[in-house]
Chain A
Amino acid sequence: MNISDSNGHFPILVAEDDPVARKILEKTLIKEGHEVVSVENGRKAFDLFKQRFFPIILTDWMMPEMDGIELCRAVRNHQASGYVFIIILTSKDSKDDIVTGLNSGADDYVNKPFNPPELKARIKTCMRILELERSLKEANENIRILSITDPLTKSYNRGYITECLPKEINRAIRYERALSLMLCDIDHFKKVNDTYGHQAGDQVLIEVVHSIKDSIRQDLDWTARYGGEEFLIVLPETGPQGACILAERLRNSISKYKFIFQEKAIHITCSFGISGFDSVTSDENISSESLINTADKYLYQCKLEGRNRVKAGYMDKAQSLKFKDKLLISNDQ
């Protein structure tokens, strides 16, 4: 999220009941290139803040309805999308209260009537801090992405499965929605490595992930590397029947695909084990483990029956919540 404009200015919310002071604040800040929204008391400022995030708040102390101190506390207690830098304006005669202001959550204070160069300098300090916060957030986000990404294929990794699959399952159960899991394993992958080398194997893995990503819904479905040449595909809002159709399509296209490595064509096939449900009302027997184990069981069946095929199990709420075989297309080439 980038909250500043292209020149690094941040929108500022001003709360000041004195119309003369408000006008001077507005104009001084606008001249500096900031977007300024000003209101005449803390209550209005907080109402506005709840609708729109402002990274900088400049507030007077004494105001009707809600004063600056109450505004500071309200903003600090509110779940905001980023850090809010609060500057409180104090009269010289209330200097004793500066400690109260800072303790209530203000980051800085400016004496009234303020001196424009001083105010501008204070805003610059606050922009430096917000800029620092932004770059830390960005770095954090990059680290987070790295921690859930498989470095070779750029699909998610097992850590992501552990983090997100239980959430997908809970959501599906709570809203009685469909959910399917698919384990896709490359058949005889060791042969690819042995025949063409590990670089070729790596390229096959990368391209298989591309095929998977191309055939699932970008914003809803996701895929993660489950093991060496095994990928988990999670399909919310999709029952086992739909998952089978998707798997069959993928199986077919991968089996026809020519992976080119150093001008040599490599042919591979994949096997797909599926588990899932159309809707369940109880979470009995349903967990990441049970769904993955079931998919794995059907994947194993595919291997036994000659590979390059799709097999699925499903849960039916009318039944005793045990996985049943799904009679399904189990194609050979």
Chain B
Amino acid sequence: MNNLAEPIDMKEVMEILDGDKELLIECFDELLNSMPQTLAEIQSAIEQGNASSLDEAAHKLKGSLKYMAAGTAADVAYQLKTMGKEENLSLADNIFSTLCEECEKVQDFMERYKVGI
């Protein structure tokens, strides 16, 4: 079953982009392109127990997701950022799985949008 709420709030993102559809596609491409690497950075920071790297990488991802009005995914990224900032990574593994799931939804949404579904 699909979630009722879409992972990206299109109304909000179009407001942020001032209604520029071409820019929206460019941003989707940018995010599709950078997300795997940022997720990999987050994962390796958690594996190495490097709190400040986690803070930085999760902060960056949270930023991109916020601009794309991907509220749920951004919130999860923010949780990880906070863990990094507070240097408490005990639950980071779990949250990272949730982040991956949410990011996948965002990715799917962007891919679908691009091919016009």
A residues contacting B by CB (< 8 A) are: 17-21, 23-24, 27-28, 31, 62, 64, 91, 93, 112-117
| A24–B56 touching, CB < 8 Å | no
B15: chain A residues within 8 A (beta carbon) = 115
Interface residues on B, range: 20 to 34
Contact of B16 among A17, A62, A93, A113 (CB under 8 A): A113
| A21–B16 touching, CB < 8 Å | no
- Give how many A-B residue pairs fall within 8 Å (CB-CB): 58
Name which residue of chain A comes closest to B24, CB basis. A24
B27: chain A residues within 8 A (beta carbon) = 20, 23-24
Please choose the segment from B43-51, B59-67, B94-102 that sits at the chain A interface, where 4 or more of its residues have CB less than 8 A away. B59-67
Q: Which of B17-76 contact A (CB under 8 A)?
A: 17-18, 20, 23, 26-27, 30-31, 33-34, 56, 59-60, 62-64, 66-68
| B60–A17 touching, CB < 8 Å | yes
B residues contacting A by CB (< 8 A) are: 15-18, 20, 23, 26-27, 30-31, 33-34, 56, 59-60, 62-64, 66-68, 78
Q: Which 10 A-B pairs have the closest CB atoms?
A: A20-B64, A116-B18, A18-B63, A113-B67, A19-B30, A113-B66, A20-B67, A20-B30, A27-B23, A20-B27
Known: A20-B30, A21-B67; 5 extra A-B contacts, CB below 8 A, are A24-B67, A27-B20, A64-B56, A91-B62, A115-B16
Interface of B: prevailing SS: helix
Question: Assuming A93-B78, A112-B63, is B16 touching A23 (CB within 8 A)?
Answer: no
Cα distance A116–B78 in the bound complex, in angstroms:
23
Cα distance A24–B67 in the bound complex, in angstroms:
9
A23: chain B residues within 8 A (beta carbon) = 23, 26-27, 30
Cα distance A114–B55 in the bound complex, in angstroms:
22
| B18–A20 touching, CB < 8 Å | no
